Amino acid sequence: MTVTLVTLLKILVIYGGLINVAALMTLAERKVSAWMQFRIGPNRVGPWGVLQPLADGVKFIFKEEFTPEGANKFLFRIAPMLSAVPAMLTVAVLPLAGDIAIPKLGTFDLPFFGPTELGGITTNLSITDLDISVLFVLAVSGLSIYGIILGGWASNSKYSLLGALRASAQMISYELTLMLSLLSIVVMTGSLDLREIATSQATIGQWHIWTQPLAFILFVVATFAETNRHPFDFAECEPELVGGFHTEYSSMKFALFFMGEYCAMAVMSGLTVTFFLGGFGVPFWPDAPWFVELPAFLAKTAFFLFLFIWVRWTLPRFRFDQLMGLSWKWLLNLALFNLFLTGLASALGWF
């Protein structure tokens, strides 16, 4: 009983937190871009405009919704869901902190269950821990491609279709780099469990950013492409494709595509931290309690979220053939080479 309640609580906190991070990211994006261009950014709704995402949400709900002529109505409706659900589902295996001991809370008389003893267990701050969580993340995040491809196709608009095709070709190309760079981490840790990967980097010197610098760079580049972010945002590059795959979407359906994208960014940043920056580990404090580990994890993740925005307002956009060439000609070969070297080092017993 306690376990179920704790799981529900964790889902509420972590998933709710993820949604809030995604909402705040839309604000952060506007604020940071404003600062970078000597503007002020949203400042009317609440102090520093912090309530802006809420106002946007209300506005999205009341916006008119329409389906373009000749669109496949069923697919047009479910595509935003197909895009958002996998992105949000991957947060399930992200380890946010170490053990939390819940003290015995006593016996409670619950409706339907009768007197139940609550508390007295030790749990982890992650919704669940799988033996193969690395594969889970890869498999589930790979499914989010369907939302984009079907949304673009169902709209019956040329911009949407082209945007969707470009986005999906790009996502599958960079997924290979993503997987191969992760494999070298798996070779070093010998586990597919994210929590084990995080805890194996106990001290700052063991962080995989030092032992696997090439994999780190490849992974970060691939996450930018996987989440369709600048400089790889070919799904929605305004000068060429208007809005890309969501040109025809409005109101909450449009918002769901965006929520999915920002959630994917948050989870990818969390994964980068877990794989390369010691996860929830606190530098120079090996046995930190969970309420220190959680802020440490969030701070590291926040840096990568900031990086997403920073890069967007700094770099120019690629051209599509350059993007595909970069992935297949350079990143894939580099990732294979890195895996080869890591395997050799492992066989020689260097770690």
Partner 1 sequence: MLEQYAPILMLLAAVMGFALFNIGLSELVGRRRRAVGKEAAYECGMGSYGTNARLRLSIHFYLVAVLFILFDVEVLLLVPWAVAAKGFGEAGVGMHVFGCVAAFLIVLEVGLAYVWAKGGLTWDR
Partner 2 sequence: MAEFLFYALSIAAVLFGIGVISAKQPLMCVLSLLGSFVCLGVIYLLAQFQFMAAAQILVYAGAIMVLFLFVVMLLDLGNVEELKENSMRILGKKRITVAVVVAGGLALTSLLGTRDSMASAGPEPVVVRPDAYDPVAEIATLLFTRYLLAFEAAGLLLVASMVAVMVLAKRQREPLSDQR
Q: Contact positions toward partner 2, by CB under 8 A?
A: 72, 75, 130-132, 135-136, 138-140, 142-143, 145-146, 149-150, 153, 161, 165, 168, 172, 175, 190, 192
C-alpha radius of gyration, the chain, whole number: 22
Q: Which is nearer to partner 1, 69 or 287 (CB)?
A: 69
Burial 211-223 (b: 16+ CB within 10 A, else e): bbebbbbbbbbbb
CA 194-134-174 angle, 5° bins: 130
68 binds, among partner 2, partner 1, none (CB under 5 to 8 A by kind): partner 1
Q: Which is nearer to partner 2, 120 or 190 (CB)?
A: 190
202 Cβ partners below 8 Å, 6+ apart? 278, 281, 286
Q: Tell me: does residue 347 bind partner 1 (CB under 8 A).
A: yes
Judge contact between 123 and 97, C-beta under 8 A: no
Q: What is d(CA 105, CA 116) in angstroms, rounded to the nearest whole number?
A: 10
Q: Which of 137, 256, 288, 331 binds partner 1 (CB under 8 A)?
A: 256
316 binds, among partner 2, partner 1, none (CB under 5 to 8 A by kind): none
Block residue for tokens 């000749």? 70
Provide the 10 A C-beta neighbour count for residue 256: 24
Distance in angstroms between the alpha carbons of the first and the last residue of the chain:
43
307 binds, among partner 1, partner 2, none (CB under 5 to 8 A by kind): none
Q: Which is nearer to partner 2, 175 or 293 (CB)?
A: 175
Residues 163-192 that bind partner 1 (CB under 8 A): 165, 169, 172-173, 175-176, 179-180, 183-184, 186-187, 190-192
145 binds, among partner 1, partner 2, none (CB under 5 to 8 A by kind): partner 2
Q: Which is nearer to partner 1, 66 or 285 (CB)?
A: 66
Q: Tell me: does residue 301 bind partner 1 (CB under 8 A).
A: no
CB of 284 to partner 2, least distance (A): 30
Phi-psi label, residue 279: left if phi above 0, alpha if psi -120 to 50, beta otherwise: left
Q: Which is nearer to partner 2, 60 or 328 (CB)?
A: 328
Judge contact between 304 and 276, C-beta under 8 A: no
149 binds, among partner 1, partner 2, none (CB under 5 to 8 A by kind): partner 2
CB of 136 to partner 1, least distance (A): 8
Instruction: Single out the residue of 85, 225, 222 nearest to residue 150, CA to CA.
Output: 85
Query: Identity (one letter) of the amino acid at 330?
Result: W
205 binds, among partner 1, partner 2, none (CB under 5 to 8 A by kind): none
289 binds, among partner 2, partner 1, none (CB under 5 to 8 A by kind): none
